[in-house]
Amino acid sequence: MRHGKKFNHLGRKTAHRKAMLSNMACSLIEHKRINTTLAKAKALRGFVEPLITRSKTDSTHSRRIAFKHLRNKYSVTELFREVAPKVADRPGGYTRIIRTGKRLGDNAEMCMIELVDFNEIYGTETKKKTTRRSRRGGKTAATAKAADAKKEEE
C-alpha cells in the first residue's frame, strides 16, 4: 500500500532526480537566484532548506553532511561562508518562489526561486520623500526670498 507516500518524482529515476536537485541547489547557492519550473522549485525548496539550516552550525559533521548532498566543494564553502551568516537569525523559510508565467514551448508553469536574504531588487529601498506641487504657480522658498529682496530695493 502507498499510504502517505506523497513525493514528486519529477518524471525521473532516483539517481537522476538526486543529481538534478544537487546541481540545482549548487546553482542556487552560487547565484542566489535561478529560474526553473514550479514543480522543480518546490522539490528544490525541500532539498535545500534543511541544508541551509544545517549550515548554521559550522562543524565538520555539518560540512560533511552538506557535501554528501551537494557533492561540490565550492558550493559547500559558499554555503557556510556567505549564506549561513546572513540567515543566522532567521528561523526558517530561506527561499522564496515567485511565479513568472507559462513557458512558451510546453506551457509549463515557470518561476524564480531565490534566497530571501540575498535580494537586492525590492524590499530594501526606502520610500523617497516627495513634495506636492501646485499647478497654480506657487513659489519655492528661494525664489520667494529673492522676490522679497527685490521689492525692498525698490
Return the ∠ at Cα 45 (arms to 60 and 10), rounded to 5°: 115
Can you tell me the distance from the alpha carbon of 103 to that of 48, in angstroms, rounded to the nearest whole number?
Answer: 24
- To the nearest whole percent, how much of the chain has pLDDT over 70? 79
Distances 44 to 2, 22, 51 between C-alpha atoms, Å = 23, 9, 11
pLDDT at 103: 97
pLDDT tens-digit series, residues 9-53 = 999 999 999 999 999 999 999 999 999 999 999 999 999 999 999
Query: The whole model's pTM is what?
Result: 0.77
Q: What pLDDT sits at residue 139?
A: 57
Choice between 102 and 140, residue whose per-residue pLDDT is larger: 102
Can you read off the three cell numbers belonging to residue 113? Answer: 526561486
| pLDDT tens, residue by residue, 127-140 | 566 666 666 765 56
Helical (H) or strand (E) element with 70? helix 60-70
Q: What are the residues facing 95 on neighbouring strands?
A: 115
Q: Which three cell numbers stand for residue 52?
A: 541551509
Query: Which domains are assigned to the chain?
Result: 14-120 (3.90.1030.10)
- φ, ψ dihedrals at 96, nearest 5°: -130, 135
